[in-house]
Amino acid sequence: MLPWMLALACLAAPPAAPVAENPACPGCGSVVSEKSPTVVVKGKAYRACCKHCAAMIAKDPDKYFEKDGTPKNAKGGKQPAKP
């Protein structure tokens, strides 16, 4: 019985990757597209406008996101300045 369970576990599909749905870059507020780099923060995917912003977001996500995972610049608040 155990070999069958192991075989089925190996055949199971991997979990789906999170899908990014944000319309603006959490780093600088620029518009993003499907081709924009994606960053996963706390299990949720976000698109960044460029590789530079993606790296900044990955390095210090608390600077760009509220505790509930909402980008700080999505609520009309002041967006963090680029270094």
Q: Is residue 6 part of a domain?
A: no
Residue 39 sits in which domain range?
17-63
| pLDDT at res. 13 | 56
Q: Is residue 8 part of a domain?
A: no
Each residue's pLDDT, cut to its tens digit, for the chain (83 residues) gives 556 555 556 565 566 667 888 999 999 999 999 999 999 998 999 999 999 999 999 999 999 999 988 999 876 544 444 44
| pLDDT at res. 74 | 78
Q: Is residue 5 part of a domain?
A: no
Q: Is residue 26 part of a domain?
A: yes
* 10 phi and psi angles, rounded to 5 deg: -70, -30
Q: Is residue 69 part of a domain?
A: no
Cα gap 25→15, rounded to integer Å: 25
| pLDDT at res. 25 | 95
Q: Is residue 77 part of a domain?
A: no
pTM, to two decimals: 0.69
* DSSP alpha helix (H) spans, the chain: 2-11, 51-59, 61-64
Domain count, the chain: 1
| pLDDT at res. 62 | 95
